[in-house]
Amino acid sequence: MNTNLRKLFYVPILHAREASENKQGGEFNAGQSAVGEMWAGITAKIEELNLPWNKTRIYQDGLPVSGKEMEIVTRLAENGSLNHLLILNLLMQGAKLEGTENMDFLMREYDLLNILLMKQAGADMSAGDPGAKAEYQAKSRGLLAQRDEFIANRIKTTLQEGEVSLVFMGVMHRLDKILEKDFPISYVIYRIPFRSVGAIYNTALK
Amino acid sequence: MKPMRLKPSLLRACQPASPALRRACPIVFSPIYLNADKISTEKLLALYHFANLFFPQMGPGLVQTIMDMEKHGERLSAGISPQERQRLIGKMKGLSMDIQYALKDEGQKMLEISIHIVPGEVLERAQHGKLDLAQYRQLRADLNKLMVSLIEKEIRRRFTGKVGEFFQTLLQGKRVPSFITQLLDMGWINRKGQLLEDASIDDLLSGKYRGQFARLMPEELIQEGMQIRETIKTCFAVGADDPDSLIQDARKRHALLEITIQETRRTPPG
ipTM value of the model? Answer: 0.82
- A36 inside 8 A of chain B by CB: yes
| B126 and B178 belong to one structural domain | no
Q: Measure the CA angle with vertex B228, ends B227 and B232; round to 5°.
A: 120
- How sure is the predictor about A173, in pLDDT bands with cuts at 50, 70 and 90? confident
Alpha carbon of B127: minimum distance to chain A alpha carbons (Å): 14
Residues 26-85 of chain B with CB under 8 A from chain A are 26-37
| B141 and B97 belong to one structural domain | no
| Domain contains B151 | yes
| B203 and B123 belong to one structural domain | no
What are the phi and psi torsion angles at B28 (to 5°)?
A: -130, 165
- How sure is the predictor about A205, in pLDDT bands with cuts at 50, 70 and 90? very low
Of B94, B111, B131, the one marking the end of a domain is: B131
The domain tally of chain B equals: 2
Q: Could you tell me if A194 and A38 are in contact, meaning their C-beta atoms sit under 8 angstroms apart?
A: no
- A139 inside 8 A of chain B by CB: no
CA distances from A4 to A51, A165, A184, A185, B188 (A): 17, 13, 7, 11, 27
Question: Could you tell me which chain B residue has the CA closest to the CA of A145?
Answer: B197
| B157 and B202 belong to one structural domain | yes
Which sign does the torsion angle of CA B263, A9, A27, B25 carry?
A: positive
Residue A156 confidence (pLDDT) above 90 = yes
Q: Could you tell me if A15 and B249 are in contact, meaning their C-beta atoms sit under 8 angstroms apart?
A: yes
Domain ranges of chain A: 3-101+159-205
| B45 and B105 belong to one structural domain | yes
| B69 and B110 belong to one structural domain | yes
| Domain contains B159 | yes
Of B131, B152, B186, the one marking the end of a domain is: B131
Looking at residue B189, what is its pLDDT? 79
Residues 180-199 of chain A with CB under 8 A from chain B are 181, 186-187, 189-199
Alpha carbon of B29: minimum distance to chain A alpha carbons (Å): 6
Q: Could you tell me if A164 and A9 are in contact, meaning their C-beta atoms sit under 8 angstroms apart?
A: yes
Whole-angstrom distance, CA of residue B105 vs CA of residue B111? 10
- Compute the mean pLDDT over every residue in chain A, rounded to the nearest whole number: 78
Which of A3, A27, A83, A88 shows the shortest CA–CA distance to A53? Answer: A88
Whole-angstrom distance, CA of residue A142 vs CA of residue B68? 50
Nearest to A191 among B31, B253, B264 (CB): B31
B192 DSSP 8-state letter: T
Q: Whole domain around residue B142: which residue ranges?
A: 132-240
| Domain contains B142 | yes
Within 8 A of A81 by CB-CB distance, chain B residues are 256
pLDDT tens digits for chain B (270 residues)? 333 333 232 222 222 223 332 332 222 333 344 454 554 444 444 555 555 544 444 444 555 555 555 556 556 666 777 777 777 777 777 776 665 656 666 666 655 555 556 666 666 665 665 545 555 555 555 555 555 555 555 556 666 777 777 778 878 877 777 777 777 777 777 888 777 765 666 666 666 666 767 777 667 666 666 655 555 554 444 344 445 667 777 888 899 999 999 999 887 766
Within 8 A of B26 by CB-CB distance, chain A residues are 30-32, 36-37, 40, 196, 198-199
Asked whether the beta carbons of residue A197 and residue B250 sit closer than 8 angstroms, the reply is no
Which of A12, A29, A13 shows the shortest CA–CA distance to A21? Answer: A29
Looking at residue B12, what is its pLDDT? 27
Asked whether the beta carbons of residue B150 and residue A171 sit closer than 8 angstroms, the reply is yes
What are the phi and psi torsion angles at A7 (to 5°)?
A: -110, 150
Least confident of A81-95, A103-117, B46-60, B176-190: B46-60
| Domain contains B7 | no
| Domain contains B268 | no
Query: A109-113, A201-205, B114-118: which has the highest mean pLDDT?
Result: A109-113
- A40 inside 8 A of chain B by CB: yes
Asked whether the beta carbons of residue B4 and residue A48 sit closer than 8 angstroms, the reply is no
CA B63 to chain centre: 19
| B190 and B161 belong to one structural domain | yes
Whole-angstrom distance, CA of residue A140 vs CA of residue A114? 12
- A23 inside 8 A of chain B by CB: no
Q: pTM of the entire structure?
A: 0.50
Least confident of A126-135, A136-145, B162-171: A126-135
Q: Could you tell me if A28 and A46 are in contact, meaning their C-beta atoms sit under 8 angstroms apart?
A: no
| B142 and B100 belong to one structural domain | no
- A15 inside 8 A of chain B by CB: yes
- A19 inside 8 A of chain B by CB: yes
| B114 and B98 belong to one structural domain | yes
Of B131, B149, B164, the one marking the end of a domain is: B131
Is residue A58 helix, strand or coil? strand
Tell me which amino acid residue B39 is. Answer: I
Query: Higher-confidence residue: A181 or B208?
Result: A181
